[in-house]
Structure 1
Amino acid sequence: MNTRNIYLKTVPPDQAVQAAMQAIDRDRLMHTETVPSQQACGRVTAAPVFARCSSPTFHAAAMDGIAVRAQDTFAAREDQPLTLCREKDYLPVNTGNPLPQGFNTVIMVENVVEQDADTVSIDAPAAPWQHVRRIGEDIVATELLIPQNTELSPYDVGALLSAGIFEVEVHENVRTTFIPTGDEVLDFRDRPAPKPGQVIESNSQVFLASARGMGMDAESVPTIPDRKDALTDAVRKALDSGSHVVVVGAGSSAGSKDFTRPVFEELGQVLVHGIAVMPGKPSLLAVTDERSGHPGRLLVGAPGYPVSAVVCFDELIAPLAAWLARKPVPAAHEVDVTLTTKVPSRPGMAEMLRLAVGRVGERIVATPLGRGAGLLTSMIKAQATTVIPADREGIDQGETVRARLLTHPRQLDSVLMHVGSHDNTLDLLANELMGRPCPVRLVSGHVGSMGGLNALKAESALFAGCHLFDPESGDFNFPFITRYLKNMDLTVVNLAIRHQGLMVAPGNPKGIRSVADLAREDVRFINRQRGAGTRILLDHHLTEATINPRTVRGYDQEEFTHMAVAVNVRTGAADCGLGIRAAATALGLDFVPLARERYDLVIPTRFMDDPRIAALRECIGMDATQDRIKELGGYETTLTGRIMQPGDGLQPKN
């Protein structure tokens, strides 16, 4: 059995970066090269650049008109125009023409009255050198044009060429190689269909895109199997190819097949194994020595989980690559955001939290997204991140924290923030809204119907999806609004009538026919979270069937979306789950109908004129959208778009 690589001491990411900077001789590692000026954008100057010639190199007309001698025009008056003769007193010029010898100013053509082909008149005097670009106005030969260690912009390229600089000495780009590892990792180029225990490799492509976005020369190699000799050979080849930074994907943790650390120890010195942030904790930094044949190169062990790998890149690789390239670390916009829900966290370890954010009223609000290290989709959906400090036990609902935006601040005004019950139609609407002439980005926090009402009460959402059934009145949502939000002015708009039922495996092998079957010993159930309307519906039917929830195997096993419940059933992790027909249809499950319910959008009335809500309502009201809703399966659109009133209940089935 292989020895596990136990790491006990973690350090903050900034300390890890400093340790690497102190161990690497940057001047020795990073060389310079000369490139054509027109190809130098984004490169960093290795020496000061001095102008070879002036710009302009001659006195030039800055306007279309006539060139004159200023002193010859001083007598011109509005009531006594001055006549000028061609060749003797003036010469025509166009913008950019050299100023004719002996002339020192230009009069714009619109201020000149043509008398005949050789005679003009003016009614105002001209000042010396007006509308003239003088020699060296922009650049003077021999002056410092661009200092050393400057990242060249497109405008710098123009200045270089204008000053007669046709090639420039720059620092070489940081060269990096990403090495994915793992026996279970499949090459995406083969378009594989993964079996249980297998995953499609994608971290390398996230890394390459991120690295190239920073101006690095990045490449990846095919996946290396979990063998120490194979990994050693791959790292050596990457170093031989000239890589300044070699990143090994996965294998940096404490598993028996994690070989990154022992390989790095054979090639150099391990500086850091473990950073004090989650996700990303298993990250590893090392520097090569003479045993590698290429001393002074950076070795990085990136965790295998996608989000952990992203954190490793952002917190370690990006600042170190910027330092090697002598570029500033890209600055992110930071804003204050208010949390829509409470977020617990384990003290002693900082945690990176991904957030869906948008503007609600005068505040920017944030809903935490999935926190697992393997949830790459949480990065796709996130507009910001924040860090829960190591000395905190979490962040309270309503607390304001500092967040780093992953998007431009202006885009927050086009975010439509939803917090509430999950429904598959929200994904459909999200796509439709992004197809509008002025796109609207719908982001959702799936916290259940009651969580949505609480978010409205805390002014943390523009609307909430709810399907809360009140058995006593037979109505939906309004009894709960009256009970919990009685002082708020709210408008309730129906999105759809949907069908809830028991999702079971294809062919219904357990023969599940009703809620009564959930009490059977051989049935494993998967539930929704507390506060979800589906959970409330289940409890109502369990009560009617006189079934104690504690007798239902899996009652305490919770998921936050209908699709997550469906996946559990589809993969055999559960035999049954309560959810909407659309989720069952999407994953090819059988469906045992249980109830029809009204899924409404609860909107603070003061937001009804908000352009984002207006776009949402317009989208819902379109026949094409309603047709797509019905195509999902298990939906009726007879009430879709209608403003509901207390007591409306549920219309009879079509």
Structure 2
Amino acid sequence: MDSQRSIYLKTISIDEALEKVLEEITPASLPGRESVPSQQALGRVTAGPVRARYSSPTFHSAAMDGVAVRAESTFTAREDNPVILEKGRDYVEINTGNPIPDGMDSVIMVEKINQEYEHSISIEQPAYPWQNVRRIGEDIVATELLLPRNHEISAYDIGVLLSGGIWEVDVYQQVGIHVIPTGDEVLDFTSRPDPSPGQVIESNSQVLAAMAQSWGCRFSRTAPVPDEPQKLEKALQEALDSQAHIVVIGAGSSAGSKDFTRRIIQEKGRLLVHGLKAMPGKPTVLGISHNNKILVGAPGYPVSSVICFEQILKPLVYHLSGKTPEEPVTVEARLTRKIPSRLGMEEFLRVSVGRVGEQYVATPLPRGAGMMTTLTKAQGMTRIPADLEGMQQDRMIEVQLLRRSREVNQVLVTVGSHDNTVDFLANELALFNPPVRLASTHVGSMGGITAIRRGTAHMAGIHLFDPETGDYNFPFLDKYAPDLDYRLINLAVRHQGLMVLPGNPRNIRSLQDLPRDDVEFVNRQKGAGTRILLDHHLQQADISPEKVKGYSNEEYTHMGIAVNVLSRTADCGLGIKAAAQALGLDFVPLARERYDLLIPEDFIQDDKVVQVMNLLHSRDFKAGIESLGGYETTLTGREMKPGMGL
């Protein structure tokens, strides 16, 4: 194999890709059979019909506690003319599950018996034949079909198998998946490495391992293989010689000069697909080996790889195993903002989902193929069809839920400015029963007001300072949401300032240092309260934004600002003291400001909002906020009124 850049052949849709692979599957590709103990067969698929060896019950048995009788001997019993029965001759005491004595054919419940003497009883109602009796074979008759072929065995089926005398059951072997992570920059997580710049910790294989377990597969893995064709070929050959039915090569499937997956699949078999009309997930490669193993080249970026696993691998696994996947739970949701998309590409978009009022709302999460956190933050996923150039705000879309419906209904949708206290609040809310799941989207204070005005959030974090009045938030609400019925509840007073490297090597002491040629700044996005605060102080100091190097470099969170400074992408940035303290940065104070929660009156009695209010009045919660550093809680939990300021 040479090192020339690989070029995508012809990208095709996911459905076309699956069809190409399924057409190539032969009996030799399918899992074989094996026999397993019935009690260990949960989730396995029967390889043939299963017939009962024994009947159940194997004898006539009592279904109730009472007495066994001959029904014929009770026919004359009436309320005004009871029948007297003698113990041993006319009846035998019996407990539930006991065999019916010879000559008896009915059981009278103990509640229907009147004890006359020590050895006799009276009854006032007649019994009928087989009353309260479980007959032989009532549930299972020997030789009858218990389970058909290609049946996925449930917990209840295990009870049926054992009751029918089936100690072992023939099932298909579990589908085997083997993964080979690749890349010079990829570190083996098992060694617990400390990555250097340019290195990444391998994790995609373990995402697939967990998925494979939920699909009922066997899983194995090779330690990361460097970008050397000979070593990759050796690892692949070992995988092909194993018991795996599917071999996944992680990364190396794109079009770079070190992406060898396509070429090695062509050497070991036939290439079927090189590139999907899907985003993320485009760099997916599919083939079939000479010994009938399915070969998959999975993208290296985490979100792309997950789309490959979910949309390609899962259907193949279920086909090989004979299982039927569950139908996903979907809801109709209102899209909170416009989403552009590339025409001709089907796009899979992770979204945050919550029920706001009488509707579900879906907020798109960041779309980068490397944004692993979107996988954990998402409550749902939607598809943008290939024939659309995106979807408009307020469009009703179909969302596949990635969480249980009850959990989605417990999501507290929060939109607005980022603050570390919101993350702290989210953690505390998760301790309630049932847990409240706070889903926050960071679009700045103005974005939060817009979301509340449009009815797509339960609450918003805002901290907008008005220089003319010296007040917070109310002047902006009067201007941009004059008809909104709301309450403004303080979360904390926080300290804003310049985050700088430990020791402050650039000797940045105030805003007056920002115009210096040797100072690189990083800013918050337009509409963020922190950006508005910065602009106010720059105006007060008579500093033009054009003179600040990096003023147009934007981040959406305080932690994003802190990471930029820590990684020396910037020398300083304006943000909260808690973010600087969290990453060990120095902090140059600039201002105190009020961070409030904007809550529509319609949601003030919502159970999730009530839990928030309970926390805000808790001493322990306030102490937790103060422990973050750079916060004051003197106003926490109080309803703010115009003119209160700080």
- Please give the TM-score of this superposition, normalised by the length of structure 2: 0.97
**Structure 1 stretches of at least 4 aligned residues deviating more than 6 Å after TM superposition:** none
Residue 117 of structure 1 and its aligned partner are, at CA, apart by 2.4
Residue pair 1:368, 1:445 contacting (<8 A) in 2 also? no
State how far apart, in whole Å, the 2-side matches of 1:6 and 1:604 are: 54
Among candidates 618, 624, 627, match of residue 622 of structure 1 = 618
Decide which moves more: 29-38 or 72-81.
72-81
Pairwise CA distance, 1:488: 1.8
2:135 maps to amino acid: R
CA displacement 1:424-478 (0-9 Å, x = unmatched): 0111111111122332111111111111111111111111111011111111111
Matches within 5 A, 1:79-228: 79-228=80-229
| Amino acid across the alignment from 1:85 | E
Q: Does residue 468 of structure 1 match 2:469?
A: no
**Cα deviation, residue 28, structure 1:** 5.0
Matches within 5 A, 1:3-402: 3-26=4-27, 29-289=30-290, 295-402=291-398
The reply to whether residue 419 of structure 1 matches residue 415 of structure 2 is: yes
Confirm or deny that 1:478 pairs with 2:474: yes
Partner of residue 459 from structure 1, selected from 440, 455, 458: 455
| Counterpart-to-counterpart distance in 2, 1:27 and 1:190 | 37
C-alpha separation in 1, matches of 2:578 and 2:388: 41
Cα RMSD after superposing both structures? 1.4
Deviation at residue 126 of structure 1 after TM alignment: 2.1
Three-state SS of the structure 2 residue aligned to 1:92 is strand
Letter in 1 for 2:277: A
The one-letter amino acid of 2:83's match is L
Residues 5-14 or 232-241, more deviating:
5-14
376-385 or 127-136, larger mean C-alpha shift:
127-136
Contact 2:35 2:170 in 1 (8 A): yes
Partner of 2:592: 596
The aligned amino acid for 1:169 is D
Give CA deviations for 1:295-344 in whole Å, capped at 9, x if unaligned. 11101111111111111100111110110111112432111111222222
- For structure 2, the residue ranges without an aligned partner over 5 or more in a row are none
The one-letter code matched in structure 1 to 2:343 is P
In 2, Cα distance between the equivalents of 1:638 and 1:482?
25
Q: CA deviation at 1:87?
A: 1.8
* Other structure's SS at 1:285 match: strand
Separation in structure 2 between the aligned mates of residue 478 and residue 8 of structure 1, nearest angstrom? 58
Shift of 1:27: 5.5
One-letter amino acid of the counterpart of residue 414, structure 1: Q
Residue 519 (structure 1) aligns with:
515
Aligned-partner SS, 1:307 = helix
Report SS of the residue matched to 1:236. helix
- SS, match of residue 594 in structure 2: strand
Q: Distance in 2 between matches of 1:395 and 1:168?
A: 51
CA shift, 1:149, in A, is: 0.5
Of the candidates 419, 425, 428, which is equivalent to residue 429 of structure 1?
Answer: 425
Letter in 2 for 1:288: S
Query: Retained in 2: the 8 A contact 1:26–1:324?
Result: no
In percent, how many aligned pairs have the same letter? Answer: 57
- The SS at the match of 1:258 is coil
2:397 & 2:10 partners in 1: Cα distance?
A: 28
Using the alignment, how far apart are the partners of 1:338 and 1:406 within structure 2?
A: 17
How far is the alpha carbon of 1:501 from its aligned partner? Answer: 1.1
Q: Tell me, yes or no, if the aligned pair for 2:29 and 2:293 is still in contact at 8 Å.
A: no
User: Cα deviation per residue 1:6-44 (whole Å; 9 max; x = unaligned)?
Assistant: 105211112111111111214653211122212111111
Q: Which amino acid aligns with 2:203?
A: S
Partner-residue secondary structure (3-state), 2:514: helix
Quick check: 1:357–1:366 contact (8 Å CA) kept in 2?
Answer: yes
Count, aligned residues: 645
Distance across 2 between alignment mates of 1:216 and 1:625? 44
Contact residue 471 and residue 643 of structure 2 kept, 8 A: yes
Q: Distance in 1 between matches of 2:416 and 2:9?
A: 40
Q: In the aligned structure 2, how far is the partner of 1:504 from the partner of 1:28?
A: 59
Moved more, 95-104 or 340-349: 340-349
Report SS of the residue matched to 2:491: strand
AA aligned opposite 2:495:
H
Contact residue 29 and residue 297 of structure 1 kept, 8 A: no
Identify the range of structure 1 (492-501 vs 366-375) with the bigger mean alpha-carbon deviation.
366-375
Structure 1 window deviating more from structure 2 (542-551 vs 488-497): it is 542-551
Distance apart, 1:517 and its partner CA: 2.4
1:581 aligns with 2:577: yes
SS of alignment partner, residue 519 of structure 1: coil
Structure 2: distance between partners of 1:426 and 1:509: 31
